[in-house]
Amino acid sequence: MFCPKCGNEVKAETGICSNCGFDINSVNHEGEQKNIEEQVQEKTEQSVIAQKPKKQESNSYKELSIASFVLSGIFLILGFYKMLIYENGESYPYDMKNAYVGGDAYNFIINGTYTTAYFVLMAAFLIFGVGLLIYGELVLQRKLGNYQVDGKTSEEKSI
């Protein structure tokens, strides 16, 4: 049994809604009660359907931020590889690693430039990932109504 005034579930033996205090016994028509129960069930189904995309949208921000963090880690590893792994190949078997020209100084300059570029990309993707996390949380809080404007919550603003 549901309250015709607020839609709250009411125990049949009490006959009074615990939420709004409406006397259920004053409604004598069984058909009206069934209609109210159907309306409450439809509203519940609609709210469940409306909430599902919110979770998917929130997860999309998290998934993008995770991908951004993974790319950031890859660029960090590449940067350290260019910075720390160097072999000119001047001795047999002439195995060169991160060496492009004959002189060591030029190779260090080239590798330093590569390292800087990889670290800048790492920092950019790291900042982008954190920004996505913050933005996703703000969107979620806005949809739930748990946000503050001028130090007041959304509930206080509406009053």
Residue the block writes with tokens 């921000």:
61
Question: Which pLDDT does position 92 carry in this prediction?
Answer: 61
- DSSP conformational letter for 18: T
What span, in angstroms and rounded, lies between the C-alpha atoms of 138 and 136?
A: 5
Domains in the chain: boundaries: 53-158
Distance, first Cα to last Cα, the chain: 32
Q: What is the pLDDT of residue 31?
A: 46
pLDDT along the chain (159 residues), means of 10: 75 76 64 59 62 57 92 93 78 69 77 91 95 88 72 56
- CA dist 131 → 82, 112, 123 (Å): 28, 28, 12
pTM above 0.85, yes or no: no
Nearest to 97 by CA among 111, 109, 77: 111
Residues listed for the chain = 159
